[in-house]
C-alpha cells in the first residue's frame, strides 16, 4: 500500500458518498420512504468502513500492520482522557471561530436526534462512529501516507481529509485538530487504541451535552439559536461569539500547554520520546530525507475539489 493507492481509496469513498446521497434523496423524495436517524448514521459509517475494508483485501494489506494495538495500560489511558478534556477549550475556540462565517452544523442536526433513545446515540455517535473513523483515517489512510516517509505531511493530509469528509466547514474546522491529535497519540503510544479513546471521549461528551439540553432549546436550528443568544446577551450574535472566542482562547492557552506536558509524560512512560523526535525530524522515520516522495495525485486533487465545491454550494445556496 502506498500514497497513490491511498488517494484512490479516499476518492472511492467520496464517489460512493455521492452515489448514496443521490440514492437516499431519490428514495425519500420520490418514493416517500423515510430513513431513520440511526439507519442514516449506520449508512454514513458504512460509506467509510466498507471501501477501506475492501481496499485492504484488494491490496492484501494486513490490518495488524496498520492498526497495531498494544495491551492497553491504565495510566496511559487515564492520561489520554485528561488530554482530551484539556484540549476541549481549544476545540470550542476553533468551533466558535468557524461560526463567525458558517452555521453550527451540530445545532442544525439536533432536531433530528430528538426522540432517539440516549443509549442508541451514545452507541452510534459516541462509540461506533469513532471506532470506524479511527480505523479508516488514522489506521488505513494515515499509514498509507506514512509509508512515503513524509510523516508530517501524512499527519496533516490525513487530518485534512478527515475534516473534509464531514462536508461542511464548521465540523471540518475542529475535525482537523482531532485528526492531528489522533496521529500524535498513535505515534506517542504505538497503538490506535488511544486515538480511539480520545475520539470516543470527544463524541460521547458532545452527545451528553445534547441530551442534557432543554427539549425546547435542543429542537432549535442554528438560526433560532442565534436569535436566542442575541436576546439573552442583548448584543449582536457575532459580537457575543467574539467574547466567547476570546475567553476560551485564553483558557485554551493554559489547558493545551498542560495537555502538551501530559503528552510528553506519555512519551517518557512509553519510551517513545526518541521515536517521536526522529519521526518528525526532517529526515523522517527511516533517517533518509523524504522531501522528494510525492503523496499527491490527480484522484486526490479531484476528490478534494469535489468536496470543496459541494461545501461552498451548500453554504451559499442551502
Dump pLDDT digits (tens) for 244-288.
999 999 999 999 999 999 999 999 999 999 999 988 776 655 444
Tell which wins on pLDDT, 1 or 24. 24
Mean pLDDT, rounded, for 188-200: 95
Provide the mean pLDDT of the chain. 89
Number of folded domains that form the chain? 1
State residue 283's pLDDT score.
Answer: 62
What is the C-alpha to C-alpha distance for residues 41 and 34, in angstroms, rounded to an integer?
14
Nearest to 318 by CA among 173, 174, 168, 114: 168
Indicate the burial class of 175 (C-beta count within 10 angstroms; 0-12, 13-18, 19 or more): buried
**C-alpha cell at position 74:** 491504565
Range scoring the smallest mean pLDDT among 219-233, 235-249, 259-273: 219-233
Mean pLDDT, rounded, for 294-309: 93
Asked whether the beta carbons of 111 and 219 are under 8 A apart, the reply is yes
Determine what percent of the chain is predicted with pLDDT higher than 70. Answer: 93
Predicted structure pTM score: 0.92
Mean pLDDT, rounded, for 139-156: 92
Which tens digit of pLDDT belongs to each residue from 59-112? 888 877 676 667 889 999 999 999 999 999 999 999 999 999 998 888 878 877
**pLDDT at residue 113 greater than cutoff 90:** no
State residue 177's pLDDT score.
Answer: 97
State residue 287's pLDDT score.
Answer: 43
Eight-state DSSP code of residue 167? -
Question: pLDDT confidence of 157, banded at 50, 70, 90?
Answer: very high
Residue 151 domain boundaries: 3-317
Tell which wins on pLDDT, 116 or 213. 116
Which tens digit of pLDDT belongs to each residue from 125-142? 999 999 999 999 999 999
Amino acid at each position: 500500500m502506498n500514497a497513490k493507492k491511498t488517494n484512490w481509496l479516499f476518492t472511492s469513498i467520496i464517489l460512493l458518498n455521492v452515489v448514496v446521497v443521490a440514492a437516499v434523496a431519490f428514495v425519500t423524495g420520490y418514493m416517500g420512504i423515510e430513513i431513520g436517524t440511526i439507519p442514516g448514521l449506520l449508512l454514513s459509517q458504512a460509506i467509510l468502513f466498507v471501501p477501506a475494508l475492501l481496499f485492504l483485501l484488494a491490496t492484501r494489506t494486513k490490518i495488524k500492520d496498520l492498526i497495531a494495538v498494544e495491551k492497553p495500560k491504565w495510566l496511559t489511558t487515564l492520561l489520554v482522557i485528561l488530554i482530551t478534556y484539556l484540549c476541549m477549550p481549544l476545540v470550542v475556540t476553533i468551533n466558535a471561530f468557524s461560526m463567525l462565517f458558517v452555521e453550527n452544523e451540530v445545532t442544525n442536526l439536533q432536531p433530528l436526534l430528538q426522540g432517539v433513545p440516549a443509549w442508541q446515540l451514545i452507541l452510534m455517535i459516541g462509540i461506533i462512529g469513532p471506532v470506524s473513523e479511527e480505523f479508516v483515517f488514522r489506521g488505513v489512510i494515515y499509514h498509507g501516507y506514512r509509508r512515503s516517509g513524509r510523516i508530517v505531511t501524512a499527519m496533516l493530509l490525513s487530518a485534512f481529509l478527515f475534516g473534509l469528509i464531514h462536508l461542511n466547514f464548521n465540523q471540518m474546522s475542529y475535525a482537523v485538530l482531532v485528526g492531528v491529535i489522533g496521529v500524535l497519540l498513535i505515534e506517542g503510544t504505538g497503538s490506535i487504541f488511544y486515538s480511539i479513546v480520545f475520539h470516543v471521549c470527544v463524541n460521547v461528551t458532545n452527545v451528553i451535552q445534547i441530551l442534557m439540553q432543554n427539549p425546547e432549546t435542543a429542537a432549535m436550528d442554528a438560526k433560532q439559536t442565534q436569535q436566542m443568544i442575541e436576546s439573552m446577551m442583548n448584543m449582536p450574535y457575532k459580537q457575543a461569539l467574539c467574547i466567547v472566542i476570546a475567553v476560551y482562547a485564553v483558557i485554551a492557552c493554559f489547558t493545551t500547554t498542560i495537555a502538551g506536558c501530559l503528552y510528553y509524560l506519555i512519551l517518557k512512560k512509553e519510551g517513545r520520546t526518541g521515536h517521536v523526535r526522529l519521526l518528525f525530524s526532517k529526515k523522517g522515520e527511516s533517517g533518509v530525507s523524504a522531501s522528494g516522495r510525492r503523496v499527491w495525485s490527480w484522484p486526490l486533487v479531484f476528490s478534494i475539489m469535489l468536496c470543496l465545491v459541494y461545501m461552498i454550494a451548500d453554504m451559499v445556496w442551502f
